[in-house]
């Protein structure tokens, strides 16, 4: 399954890439790509994205890395993960930092399930428990 990760800060997205690269099994499945320029603009400021090509069984490891990474951000960061069918899962550093261990474990399971399933629609698709997009 392919997942596209984007962040509101390019440097933070590069930081996430560094965390994913620390695991040799995950590093081979992640690449940095440039998104499309918004309609009516020049292509000079193409958004930077991470493309994750997940093989079966990789979702739990990637979910753990992403949630641990965002929980350790010192400032406000939002990361959005998008599947080919357009479904998104959004995480914010403030929300994840405030979670207790039980809720964090639940979030990792929800994210892993969302990344590992191509057909199932999760009950929660955002870390802040707001309405799914």
Residue spans per domain, the chain: 2-37+47-116
Q: What confidence category does residue 71 fall into, taking pLDDT thresholds of 50, 70 and 90?
A: very high
The pLDDT score that the predictor gives to residue 104 is: 93
Q: What is the DSSP string of the chain?
A: -EEEEEES-HHHHHHHHHHHHTSHHHHTTEEEEE-PPPTTS-GGGPPEEEEEEPPTT-HHHHHHHHHHHHHT-SS--EEEEEETTS-EEEEEHHHHHT--HHHHHHHHHHHHHHHH-SSPPPS--BTT-----
pTM of the model as a whole: 0.77
Confidence of residue 37 (pLDDT cuts 50, 70, 90): low
Position with higher pLDDT, 106 vs 132? 106
């Amino acid at each position: 399954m392919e997942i596209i990760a984007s962040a509101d800060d390019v440097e933070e997205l590069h930081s996430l890439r560094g965390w994913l690269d620390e695991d040799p099994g995950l590093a081979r499945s992640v690449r940095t790509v440039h998104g499309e320029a918004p309609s009516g603009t020049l292509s000079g400021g193409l958004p930077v994205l991470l493309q994750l090509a997940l093989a079966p069984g990789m979702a739990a490891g990637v979910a753990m890395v992403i949630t641990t990474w965002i929980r350790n951000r010192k400032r406000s960061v939002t990361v959005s993960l998008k599947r080919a069918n357009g479904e998104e899962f959004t995480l914010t550093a403030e929300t994840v930092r405030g979670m207790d261990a039980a809720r964090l474990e639940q979030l990792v399971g929800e994210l892993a399930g969302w990344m590992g399933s191509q057909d199932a629609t999760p009950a929660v698709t955002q870390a802040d428990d707001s309405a799914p997009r």
